[in-house]
Chain A
Amino acid sequence: MEENLHTMRTPFRFAAALALTGAMVAACSSAASPTPAPSAAPSAAPSIAATPAASPSTAVVPSPSPDPCAPANLKLVTAGMLTIGTDNPAYPPYYQPPATGNAPKPWQLGDPTNGQGFESAFAYALAAKLGFAKDKVTWIVVPFDTSYAPGAKKFDLDVNQVSYTADRAKVVDMSDGYYFLSQAVVALKTSPLAKVTSIAGLKGYKFGAQQGTTSYDTIVNVIQPAAKPSVYTSNDDAISALKAKQIDGLVVDLPTAFYVTAAQLLDAKGNALANIVGQFPVQAGAAAEHFSAVLAKGSPVTACVNQAIAALKADGTLDQATKEWLADKADAPIFGP
């Protein structure tokens, strides 16, 4: 097995990667998805500047010197295997549950190993760009707050909707963004909050968010409400609090907002109890909030991951996965000031 991998020295096995991605996308589109059908409008995700190391997907120049990003040359947790971490349960629309039955153990709800859901699709496309076939990818459970614990990492990269912040990047390596997101407010249809259209109008309500999220930062820094926000261990707890009217509004990232309103906040008959009140306007350029893969500080893999992300952007794979799995941002109104 080791020997086979040593022979794979091309920077990216593009043909194989594209074939695999294509097959995966085809497989995905037939599966049932709770997210609204992707619209034909172009994705609003802005592209970021390509990293200097990014190699354009058109120029496959065989290099005589050993490529540091070839699978055999990467310093990995398990040689020859790409070990990817995410939290458990893995939530849609980032990780999709299988169409029937339960996710294989230890996974609850979403199944990272099926290539369905935005982050699973992204992770397999990334792995393919790096030269790892689907069976060379291992998934492990990495709770969010252990992903940055000191000491050796059990994963090569962690793909878990982690938003980039400068403080976080001091502790771990954070890849270039693979999804640019906005935060949104979810409220029960019966709440007066449901009719608010401006950020100023939000101030009089009580909000809740999951701990450790940039959603919480949005409450504190953008909404600046009069009432102290409630902070929950998980989004599920925050949803319970919203249902029990302990909070008026729940702040989550927009894809999660689409998921919770479509699949979690339902009455006994399956009718939606809550709506997305609106999304917050995003900052332009590099300051925009984005998800980054987490890697060990100073990991040699980071540069290769960034290179692969740039390639996925250049060849449209990332846009395609975004459209495939995440609802169109244009479907939620944007708050005025």
Chain B
Amino acid sequence: MFSRVGPLDSGDLINIGPSGGPPRVRGRQPTVLRSTFVALVSTVVVFGILVWITVNAPGWADVQASFFSATVFSNAFPDIAAAFWVNIQLFAIAEVLTLVLALVLAVLRSLPGPVFFPLRFLATIYADIFRAVPGVLVIYILGFGIPGLGLPGIPTDPFPYAVIALTLIYSAYVSEVYRAGIESVHPSQEAAARSLGLSRLQALRYVILPQAVRRVIPPLLNDFIGLQKDTVLVSYIGVVEIFRQSQITQQAKFNYTPYMATALVFIAVTIPLARLTDVLVQRDRRRAAASSR
């Protein structure tokens, strides 16, 4: 790196991130086989015992009928899956809005100098309040409060209020993630960028943010998993989404199986996202290791 001459570009900037360290020493083949075998046996034994305890519990027959009824499941599933479309719309819109609003908040909070104190202050208050108030309360207050004002021209449909409430709540969390990303970029990066003649805004746009955002993608995805699950909270203001739909069936049948169906739908959506997060973390780690060598 030091032998190169010429202007720095972002690829040349000093990487301060965690170093990869030497690769782990792989065990010899027989050890791998044996440990796989041990893991398998111990897994089967542990889960076998748990399953045995569960199905031999005195109330198992009741619990099975209440939570794992095949007929209730197959009757309820089409309605539940259809209701999930509402959740998909909710989190698809709220996630995009959150990404934008949270970035604005994070940048405001990272602005240096005494002139920007009011903006920093407001952004800080915002993050504090919306992280402190339980999400369901924000949804209730917006969902019943704003339409209750009776202002002409504002929507009465609860859906827009649900989107706004989720965006407000999650922007507070996500802005903190962004801020952590921005602060993790070493000050020397900005100094280097400024010394090349970039303005403060250009340095932020072309040097700081690209590095910051790349680093925080895994925690961002983590927050989005939370957002997807929290879409069920909007059922409180009358939106019939997946949770409310399953509750309707549950209370008509006095059977909790619809909840299991809902849980399955969320697992099916969330696990791929969690695995994607893992892949991105790995890729980031490899990239960091490669550039530090």
Contacts and interface: CB of A to CB of B under 8 A. Distances in A.
18 contacts: A149-B66, A150-B62, A150-B63, A150-B67, A167-B253, A167-B254, A168-B252, A170-B254, A171-B253, A212-B250, A212-B252, A230-B158, A237-B236, A241-B237, A244-B144, A244-B148, A245-B147, A246-B147
Interface in B47-68: 59, 62-63, 65-67
A229 B237 CA distance: 12
Interface of B: 59, 62-63, 65-67, 144, 147-148, 150, 156-158, 235-240, 244, 247-248, 250-256
Contacts of B238: 208, 230-232, 237-238, 241, 246-247
Nearest to A228: B240
Contacts of A262: none
Given A144-B251, A150-B59, A171-B255, A246 B157 contact: yes
B233 to A, nearest CB: 11
A149 B250 CA distance: 11
Nearest to B236: A233
A3 interface: no
B260 to A, nearest CB: 13
Contacts of B251: 144-145, 211-213
Interface in A178-234: 208, 211-213, 216-217, 228-233
A231 B236 CA distance: 8
Q: Which 9 A-B pairs have the closest CB atoms?
A: A212-B251, A230-B238, A150-B62, A171-B254, A244-B147, A148-B254, A244-B148, A150-B66, A168-B254
Contacts of A213: 251
A240 interface: yes
A217 B249 CA distance: 10
Given A241-B158, A246-B156, 16 more contacts: A150-B62, A150-B66, A167-B254, A168-B252, A171-B255, A211-B244, A212-B247, A230-B238, A231-B238, A241-B144, A244-B147, A244-B156, A245-B150, A246-B147, A246-B158, A246-B238
B252 A165 contact: yes
A216 to B, nearest CB: 6
A240 B248 contact: no
Interface string A127-160: 0000000000000000011001111000000000
A75 interface: no
Contact of A237 (B63, B144, B157, B253): B144
A145 B250 contact: yes
A165 B252 CA distance: 8
